[in-house]
Amino acid sequence: MKQRTAIVMAAGKGTRMQSDLPKVLVPVCGRPMIEYVLDTLREAGVERQIVVIGHRGDLVREQLSSRKDVIFVEQTEQLGTGHAVMMCRDALAGIEGAVLIVAGDSPLMQEKSITALFHAFDSQSPACILGTGYRDDPTGFGRVLRDAENRFVGIVEQKDASEQQKQIKEVNLSCYTFDCGDLLVSLKSLDNTNAQGEYYITDCPGILMKMGKEVMALDVLKPCESLSINTMEDLSIVEAEMERLQANAS
């Protein structure tokens, strides 16, 4: 069945948010942050929203109970973003075409950006498209590596980047569009042989490239869309940006 599908990562605790709420339920300008994400997905034509819940998942279910396009998947152990997607395999059964993967703590995500990713996927049919953006200060983000023909060749994380690579301002913003079949195949090769012992969705594009599949990086995300919320300071920054965007739109 071909329909626009999204997986929303919403299992985090939000330990640094001074709240026992699941992080995605922390209010931003008076609304739980995940509500903005789901509204944006709906505006972009996403018909099936798979929300991965964990810490106090009952509260997330209750908050989103009126949304008929939401399916809940439980991640009982927090073993990384790749593990969260692994938990969605049954929910993805029978799905054809694009699967978008986004974070539930990115309330400034824009409908135009998501639509652009879907349009690129529909017209070019790659195995995966990474949504990227440019930041004046890319510190802390994975840098996007391209070859002489501007084709995507990989991501290098901040801790592994050379001094030259650290000058790159195009960054990975944890927003991916996968062909559903290719995503499921790549998950079979995903492992947790890293310092944290976790499974990372960021490894899946590389797995697909090694299989000879086409992986693209598309610079469609605005700087504000790179703002996620991990601390109370982050929350203040996002609320100020949201108020600015709302004022400009009115």
CA distance 175 to 117: 9
The end-to-end CA distance of the chain, in Å, is: 39
Rounded Cα distance between 133 and 112, Å, is 14
Helix, strand and coil in the chain, % to nearest 5 = 35, 25, 40
Enclosing H/E stretch for 229: none
Distance CA 234, CA 178 (A): 29
Q: Which of 87, 10, 78, 83 is nearest to 41 (CA)?
A: 10
Are the C-beta atoms of 21 and 54 separated by less than 8 Å? no
- Three-class SS of residue 155? strand
Amino acid identity, residue 185? V
Q: Which two tokens stand for residue 213?
A: 């599949």
Q: State the CB neighbour count (10 A cutoff) for residue 108.
A: 22
One-letter amino acid of 177? T
Catalytic residue among 16, 31, 89, 146: 16
Residue that the structure tokens 């539930």 belong to: 104
16 is catalytic: yes
| Catalytic positions, written as ranges | 16
